[in-house]
Amino acid sequence: MVVDHILLSTSPGETRVALMFEARLVEVLVERVGAASLVGNIYLGRIATVNKGLDAAFVNFGTGRDGFLALPEARHLDGSTNSGPGDSIGDYLNEGDAVLVQVQRDPVEGKGSKLTANINLAGADLVFRPLQPGVSISRRIENTGDRERLTALVES
């Protein structure tokens, strides 16, 4: 997909960008001055504490406040992940373990960032998930021929 229009709006303290394709809005980006977002950033963190009651871990990733990593989002550096019911966070992560995490949600109201260990890098056409098998093509690409061409290109 090639964006055919970029709309830009600025006001004191905020910049908005809209990406258009064939007269349809495909993406909106908003950036506020003084509120730099961590969403999408990838960090090598260390497990600060494991909370078995929450089935989650708190990860020190260098921002001053530990992030929250729930069991469904957990993955050890070796790629192992939770395999089913009855598993607990302690089966995969221990205090002091190194873990690669990506910020899913910025910190709010005294709570740390929400983290995932299921890393993904999204581009205009493809989503790269280094720890997961297969190819992910953007949902925005609806043309079957384009999807097959991109899949063949990535798999070659």
Residues 6+ apart with CB under 8 A from 33: 13, 14
Distance separating alpha carbons of residues 156 and 103, to the nearest angstrom: 31
Quick: pLDDT tens for 16-72: 888 888 888 888 877 767 767 888 899 999 999 999 999 999 999 998 899 999 998
> What's the pLDDT score for residue 82?
62
Q: Are residues 149 and 110 in the same domain?
A: no
> First CA to last CA across the chain, in angstroms?
21
Query: How far apart, in Å, are the Cα atoms of 39 and each of 17, 58, 107, 133?
Result: 17, 17, 10, 24
Q: Are residues 48 and 102 in the same domain?
A: yes
Q: Are 118 and 138 in contact (CB under 8 A)?
A: no
Q: Are residues 7 and 46 in the same domain?
A: no
Burial (CB < 10 A; 0-12, 13-18, 19+), residue 153, is: exposed
> What's the pLDDT score for residue 77?
65
Q: Are residues 110 and 130 in the same domain?
A: no
Quick: pLDDT tens for 64-111: 899 999 998 987 666 666 666 778 888 888 999 999 999 999 888 788
Q: What is the CATH number of the domain that holds 103?
A: 2.40.50.140
> What's the pLDDT score for residue 140?
80
Higher-pLDDT residue of 128, 48: 48
Q: Are residues 130 and 151 in the same domain?
A: yes
Q: Are residues 53 and 80 in the same domain?
A: yes
> What's the pLDDT score for residue 16?
86
Higher-pLDDT residue of 124, 68: 68
Q: Are residues 126 and 96 in the same domain?
A: no
When pLDDT is averaged across residues 122-128 and rounded to a whole number, the result is: 79
- For the ranges 53-67, 123-137, 141-155, the lowest mean pLDDT is seen at 123-137
CA 98, 102, 104, 109 torsion-angle sign: positive
Q: Which pair of structure tokens corresponds to residue 55? A: 């089935």
Query: How far apart, in Å, are the Cα atoms of 119 and each of 51, 79, 92?
Result: 22, 11, 17
82-98 burial string, b = 16+ CB within 10 Å, else e?
beeeeeebeebbeeeee
When pLDDT is averaged across residues 131-154 and rounded to a whole number, the result is: 82
Q: Are residues 82 and 111 in the same domain?
A: yes
Higher-pLDDT residue of 85, 146: 146
Q: Are residues 100 and 66 in the same domain?
A: yes
Is the model's pLDDT at 139 over the cut of 60? yes
Number of domains the chain is built from: 3
Q: Are residues 47 and 110 in the same domain?
A: yes
> What's the pLDDT score for residue 50?
95
Q: Are residues 78 and 140 in the same domain?
A: no
The whole domain housing 23 covers: 1-34
Q: Are residues 74 and 112 in the same domain?
A: yes
